Amino acid sequence: MNGAQDMGGLHGFGPVEPEQNEPVFHADWEKRAFALTLAMGTPGGWNIDMSRFVRENRPPAEYLSMSYYQIWFAGLEALLKERALVTDDEIVVGHALHPPKPVERILSPGDVAQVLYRGGPTERETNTKARFKAGDTVRAKNINPLTHTRLPRYVRGHLGQIERVIGCHVFPDSNATGAGENPQWLYTVRFDGRELWGEGADPSVTVSVDAWEPYLEPL
Amino acid sequence: MSGHDYHDHDHSELTETQLRVRALETVLTEKGYVDPAALDLLIETYEKKVGPRNGARVVAKAWADPAFRARLFKDATPAIAELGYAGRQGEHIVALENTPQRHNMVVCTLCSCYPWPVLGLPPVWYKSAPYRSRAVADPRGVLKDFGVSLPKDTEIRVWDSTAEIRYLVIPIRPAGTDGWSEEKLAELVTRDSMIGTGLPKQPKDLK
């Protein structure tokens, strides 16, 4: 979706302001929101692309007014409610009011280290051949899906070169909607800064994105 | 998205978020979906165990050990796993080599993708709108915000982490460090130098 999360090239946000000796979290609720989000991935049954979509799927003014972990927390609430794992009345009173839905398993303390160490690799076996090879010129398609996509607006319609054939990876545009992993070839595509930002742009700058094959067309 | 917003919100709004998070944790615990001890462990892991000191060890080894450096640039994920760092948000890592001619900078314009096993959780500025909007369009301006100025003809390669590949910048080894141990070299490696918004410390910066 063309939401506020797709920020590349926007103006007006001001300078980057690094914080000296920044703590990992800035408030206790951030820690809990972070940990709840990770832990609920086990019984919740959603995937990372669904998580990303519920975070970005809100009015731009709202997205921009929320802090990072406020967005995470709102996303978690949305995922829980979608699956009826939690209901609005329970959130209001702060207690369970309905019997739990059966879940396959939950994250136990003994599993934490192993679950984090395993992670969620997205590379998949394939019988298909990659359509592009390193050095090929491609155009990023002009697509504007209402659903989740990982092709940023600032490269759409622009010409780039395949820098690397990465492998076959889970396709977020499918995975986010529950339509399955639908693995696709993934490439690093590099764009000249002047191709993206115009003739006045810094000629020493190039920008790459990692783009799945359905995002690309041959020249 | 304004990373520092919660500092500006009035007290009642901050309290509302706190209460809401607490309420949800209670509901989820009562329903048996989460074990609070697992939550504590997750927090402890990213507050105390996983952070940029991991990445600094990787960089120092890449500086000191040519065979490791070769493995790192060939396929970073197994090379980094040799040091015990792997997993969530680092399932597929690529190491980027800075040279006098080429500087690499990493961003995630769409969210906050960041190589957790080697750098920990991202700082607020990395997730903020100013960085995400400008890193791809004006990387030299962003570097200036960090007090870094590179020669005009240095090539700047920006990497937007739009898939599940996570990027780790390997900065240039500072001069005057011949014969240093990996432990001492690691003290020169800053978090920002592994994102590409900073440079490593110089020997004179160590007390």
Crossing angle between the packed helical segments A68-82 and A48-56, to the nearest 10 degrees: 110
Predicted confidence at residue B89, as pLDDT, reads 98
B51, B130, B160 ranked by CB distance to A13: nearest = B130
Going from N- to C-terminal start, the domains of chain A cover 28-118, 137-218
B68 reaches A (C-beta below 8 A): no
Assess if residue B4 is contained within a domain.
Answer: no
Active site includes B149?
no
For residue range B47-80, what is the model confidence (pLDDT) as tens digits? 999 999 999 999 999 999 999 999 999 999 999 9
Which residue intervals of chain B are DSSP H helices?
5-8, 11-30, 36-44, 52-64, 66-74, 76-81, 116-119, 124-127, 129-134, 139-145, 182-186, 191-195
The verdict on a CB contact (< 8 Å) between B41 and A109 is: yes
pLDDT band at B8 (very low <50, low <70, confident <90, very high): very low
Identify whether residues B121 and B158 lie together within a single domain: yes
Identify whether residues B70 and B112 lie together within a single domain: yes
Spell out which residues of chain A touch residue B44, defining contact as CB-CB under 8 Å. none
For residue range B92-107, what is the model confidence (pLDDT) as tens digits? 999 999 999 999 999 9
**What is the average pLDDT score of chain B?**
94
Spell out which residues of chain B touch residue A93, defining contact as CB-CB under 8 Å. 23
Domain at B117, CATH number = 3.90.330.10
- Best CATH choice for the domain A137-218 from the list 3.40.50.920, 3.40.225.10, 3.40.50.10610, 2.30.30.50: 2.30.30.50
Give yes or no for residue B1 having a pLDDT over 70: no
Which CATH number is A28-118 given?
Answer: 1.10.472.20
B33, B47, B163 ranked by CB distance to A85: nearest = B33
Predicted confidence at residue B9, as pLDDT, reads 47
Predicted confidence at residue B12, as pLDDT, reads 58
Active site includes B113?
yes
Active site includes B111?
yes
Identify whether residues B43 and B67 lie together within a single domain: no
B21, B27, B161 ranked by CB distance to A32: nearest = B21
For B22, the domain range is 10-47
Q: For B38, which residue in chain A has the nearest alpha carbon?
A: A109
B6, B47, B192 ranked by CB distance to A27: nearest = B6
Predicted confidence at residue B15, as pLDDT, reads 82
Give the span between the Cα atoms of B149 and B143, in whole angstroms. Answer: 7
ipTM value: 0.98
Domains of chain B: total: 2
* Test mutation, A2, A67, A79, A97, chain B, max B CBs within 10 A: A67
Identify whether residues B107 and B67 lie together within a single domain: yes
Chain centre distance of CA B147: 18
Identify whether residues B32 and B94 lie together within a single domain: no
pLDDT band at B6 (very low <50, low <70, confident <90, very high): very low
Sign (positive or negative) of CA dihedral A169, A170, A174, A176 = negative
The verdict on a CB contact (< 8 Å) between A94 and B88 is: no
Q: How big is the CA angle at A174 (ends B160 and A55), to the nearest 5 degrees? A: 60
B15 reaches A (C-beta below 8 A): no
Query: How many other CB atoms sit within 10 Å of the CB of residue B179?
Result: 6
Q: Enumerate residue ranges in chain A where pLDDT < 70.
A: none
Give yes or no for residue B7 having a pLDDT over 60: no
**What is the average pLDDT score of chain A?**
97
pLDDT band at B207 (very low <50, low <70, confident <90, very high): confident
Q: What is the mean pLDDT of residues B162-188?
A: 98
Active site includes B108?
yes
Predicted confidence at residue B48, as pLDDT, reads 97
Taking only residues 175 to 194 of chain B, the set having a beta carbon closer than 8 angstroms to any beta carbon of chain A reads 192
